[in-house]
Structure formats: structure tokens, C-alpha cells
Amino acid sequence: MKLYNTLSRTKETFVPVEAGKVKIYVCGPTVYNFIHIGNARPMIVFDTVRRYFIYKGYDVNFVSNFTDIDDKIIQEAIAEGVTAEEISKRYIKECLIDMASMNVLPSTTTPLATEEICGMVEMIQTLINKSFAYQKNGTVYFRARKFEDYGKLSGKNLDDLQTGGRSLLVSGVDEKEDALDFVLWKPKKEGEPAWESPWSAGRPGWHIECSAMSKKYLGEEIDIHAGGEDLVFPHHENEIAQSEAANGKRFAKYWIHNAFLNIDNRKMSKSEGNFFTVREVAAKYDLQVLRFFMLCAHYRSPLNFSEALMKAAKAGLDRIITAVDNVKFLKDNTKVIALTDKEKELLCKIDGFVVEFEQAMDDDFNTADAVTAIFELAKFSNKHATGGSSVAFLNMLQETFVKLSDVLGLIVDKKADMLAKDIELLIEARQDARKNKDFAKADEIRDELLSQGIVLEDTREGVKWKKA
Ligand code: AMP
Ligand code: ZN
């Protein structure tokens, strides 16, 4: 299995730090609004990465945080006349609803920055003790140049960075020793939420939050650290510096970054104002379609969002769901149980689609090619699943569809499953009506099911149903 490591700028073979286990940390959103579909891209992409590791038999520990204290949250709170906590709690709740609708698995742990201040203060203190950090008037800075590898992730040249940052020093905006130094702790301003620390009542810098939360929940060395490509510098560069300086160990073995989701080929972002929220898209489409749309592209390729592409994604997903529905319908109606000789010959073809799918995913999570393998399976299924197919063959097809789609987080037999559950409930209600000698109601339920194409059969073993 290969993945592109931003750190080495090459595709590397994945070798876990600890055999059989994968520890992943994904930087979560800052919660001051509904999430937009750009934020949804890393959620969907790294959830799929996680699902593929699970599929491969790894024990995955997946941590993704919420940044629930930040200037933007405070600004929104002031604008609405409520507390910062009210804003962050509200949008965490909404974000979790969106994530569930996109079929993103809940993280093993979802830490909130504001509940982890203790670990951050401890880490900052360690950095001060090791002379990697210093305090000036209640603000603590990281001494970037002291960390020899500073710049290794982003490949930035320190002298270029120095020139960029000099104007701040000249203008006296802050009191850093060096323009490259960044904030670990800042004192509070009037009216801002604050926590006690040895340096001032204040709050942590954004970068130290992830270093501390990753350490607490995953340990000092992890396998994969992930996020959108805009986080490479400064956020991830600074996380590496802090964690490796404090712990004296390599922080993350692999760094993976998704490319941006654009609108009209321009970066979609809250600050530019050119974004759609996930909620807005959900009003028009099942969010499975959004998920499918995202996975039809490679995660390291920029992706342009448009109505036409969403329609195409919907049609593509429908093609797969229809193929699965067809298999289920045939299975409910066939009288052939065991594999026929012809079907036995076809089995290796089904295995071939699984191999194609895995090869695509093994190649740096190429979900676009993995989707193609599922399309091929659908084409094959539409051709070979017929009225004369056996239950065994149809089962094999259905299970393969579900197994592969599940890796991508796509639910392709939901309709039929929900239907089956609804039918069972109605049958139960009909049995109750009969027990109570309410035959009119029992007949009414039977007719209702019939109108939906479901035929009931009263047998000695109980009531059975089939599609008409
Ligand atoms: P933020 O709330 O801005 O910290 O972003 C949360 C996550 O969404 C980060 O991993 C960002 O890199 C990612 N992100 C933000 N905008 C986009 C976008 N337009 N396309 C892809 N990822 C994005
Ligand atoms: Zn982070």
C-alpha cells in the first residue's frame, strides 16, 4: 500500500509504527458557522482512508478535533451578543449532524481544544524548559530557528520567511526575538475567554492545540497526520516543530493533504465568501451524492464544484444503486439456490473487480479508479444477473457491491433495506390487527402493501412477502 507523503514528496510504502495498528490525527474545523463543502472534503477523504485501513484489517485509532476557541469564534459571539462557548457548541452540534449525513464515521476521540488546555500548558512549559520557547509580557513564543528541521514539511526557505516577517518586527507589532517565531500562548484581551497559566490569563495558539491533543490521545509518535493543503504551512510545520522539540521524537511518519475544492476554479473559503454550506447542498441532494462526487476525484487533485458535476455524480451513484436493487429483486424471486456451472466460471470475474478496486486504493487512495471498478462490477452485474441466476451468485454480487461501497462510505442498498424494515413493521401491525379480530384493518394493510408491489403469503411458518 502506497501513499504520498508530503514530508518526502514521494509515494511511500505504508509501514505502520506498530504492526497492525494505525494512528491518524486529522485537524478538525474551527466552529463559527455551518461547515462548507470545502471543509467536507478532508472529512470525506480521510474517513475513506480510515475505512480502507479498517478494510485491510488494521486497528485504527482516528482522532479529529474541533477548534472551539479562535478569533473568528469570538468575533461571531460579539456580533450575536452571545458567549464564544454558545457559538462553538452550536456549530459543533450542526457539524456532527452534517458529518453523520455524509456517513463520516464518528472519530475514536473528538477532543475540544478548550477541554485540553492543561496538556497545552504542560507542553509549552516543556518547550520553555528546553529553551525552545520564551515568554515576553505574558505571551509565549516558539523559537523557530532553534528547531533545526524547521521548514522540512513545507520546504520553505527560512531566509524568505524571514524577509516576509520582518515588517512585523520593524513596526513593533510584537516583541518576538525573530520574525519566524510563532505564538504558543497569548494573554487575553478585554472580554475574551481566558484560562489560567504560569504566564498570563489567556489562551493557547492554534498550533499547540493539535500537538497537545494528538499527544494525549495517540501518543508521541503517530502514523498519519492529515488535513487540507492550506495547513502545510504554517500550521503543520509548526506542529512538527513543537511536538518534536518537546517529545524528542519524530511526530508523524506520514503527512497527507487534500487539495482544495474550488468554485469557478477559485478556492472556496469562508473569508472569500464564495462557498456553499453542506446544509445548502443537503437541501437539494442526498449527501451521499456529495460524498460520491468528492470520491470521483483523486484527493490530491483540485476539484471544481458545479451543478453539472453534482448531477453527473447523482446519475453515477444511481447507476450503482439500481444495479444493487436489481440484484436484490432477482434474489427475492429466483428459485435457483446453488451456483450454476456458468456462474462458477464467472466468480473469478467478480474477484477481479475486487482486485482492481484494491489496487486503486493501494495506489495512494485512488478513489476515482476505485469507483471505476464498482462501475465495472455494475456493468457486469447488469449483464449476468438474470431471472435464472442463483441465490448464491446474486448474494455474491450483492456482498461485493456492499463491501466495496462501504470502503467509500457509500450506502448502496439502503433503499431496499429500509423497505424491508418497513414491510416487516407493516406485517407485524397486520398480525396484531388479525389477533384483535380487526380484519378490516388487516385487509387495509395488505392492500397498502400490494399497492407498493408487495405480495403477502400466509404460510404455516408465518407470513412471507415478495415483490409482485
Ligand atoms: P478550517 O475550519 O478553515 O480550519 O478548515 C478545516 C479543514 O477544512 C482544514 O483541513 C482545511 O484545510 C480544510 N478546507 C478548508 N477549505 C477547504 C477547501 N475549499 N477545500 C478543501 N479543504 C478545505
Ligand atoms: Zn491541527
- The response to whether residue 256 sits with its C-beta less than 6 Å from ligand 1 reads no
pLDDT of residue 166: 53
Give the count of beta carbons closer than 10 Å to the beta carbon of residue 137: 9
Using alpha carbons, select from 127, 160, 161, 159 the residue that is nearest to residue 146: 127
Specify whether the CB–CB gap between 392 and 337 falls below 8 A. yes
Chain position carrying cell 480510515: 50
Strand 202-204 to strand 266-267: parallel, antiparallel, or no bridges (unpaired)? Answer: unpaired
What's the CA gap between 85 and 105, in Å, rounded? 25
pLDDT of residue 161: 79
For residue 261, the ligand 1 atom closest to its alpha carbon is 20
For residue 229, the ligand 1 atom closest to its alpha carbon is 12
Summarize pLDDT for 213-246 with one digit per residue, the tens.
999 999 999 999 999 999 999 999 999 999 999 9
Q: Order of strands, edge to edge, in the sheet holding 261-263?
A: 266-267, 261-263, 303-305
| Mean pLDDT of the region 39-46 | 98
For residue 356, CA distances in Å to 111, 328, 403, 453 come to 37, 24, 14, 37
Instruction: Note the helical H segments in 176-306.
Output: 206-218, 237-247, 278-282, 287-295
Specify whether the CB–CB gap between 406 and 291 falls below 8 A. no
pLDDT of residue 164: 58
Please determine, for residue 63, whether its predicted confidence score (pLDDT) is greater than 70. Answer: yes
What's the CA gap between 231 and 87, in Å, rounded? 23
- The response to whether residue 38 sits with its C-beta less than 6 Å from ligand 1 reads yes
Give the count of beta carbons closer than 10 Å to the beta carbon of residue 53: 22
Kindly state the cell numbers that stand for 241. Answer: 516543530
Summarize pLDDT for 368-423 with one digit per residue, the tens.
999 999 999 999 999 999 999 999 999 999 999 999 999 999 999 865 555 677 78
Return the ligand number nearest the Cα of 235.
Answer: 2
Which residue puts its alpha carbon closest to atom 18 of ligand 1? 38
The preferred substitution site among 36, 39, 45, 275 for testing ligand 1, maximizing ligand atoms within 8 Å of CB, is: 39
pLDDT of residue 409: 98
For residue 319, CA distances in Å to 315, 377, 379, 451 come to 6, 11, 9, 25
Phi, psi of 23 (to 5 degrees): -110, 120
Rg, the chain, Cα only = 27
Q: Which residues neighbour 122 within 8 Å (Cβ) at sequence distance 6 or greater?
A: 212
Return the ligand number nearest the Cα of 25.
Answer: 2
**What is the rounded average pLDDT for all residues in the chain?**
93
- Please tell me the distance between residue 206's alpha carbon and the centre of ligand 2 in angstroms: 7
- pLDDT classification of 184: cutoffs 50, 70, 90: very high
Please determine, for residue 56, whether its predicted confidence score (pLDDT) is greater than 70. Answer: yes
Please determine, for residue 362, whether its predicted confidence score (pLDDT) is greater than 90. Answer: yes
- Please tell me the distance between residue 85's alpha carbon and the centre of ligand 2 in angstroms: 20
With a threshold of 0.85, does the pTM exceed it? Answer: yes
- Please tell me the distance between residue 399's alpha carbon and the centre of ligand 1 in angstroms: 35
Summarize pLDDT for 126-165 with one digit per residue, the tens.
999 999 999 999 999 999 999 999 999 999 988 877 765 5
What's the CA gap between 98 and 86, in Å, rounded? 19
Summarize pLDDT for 239-297 with one digit per residue, the tens.
999 999 999 999 999 999 999 999 978 888 877 888 999 999 999 999 999 999 999 99
pLDDT of residue 171: 47
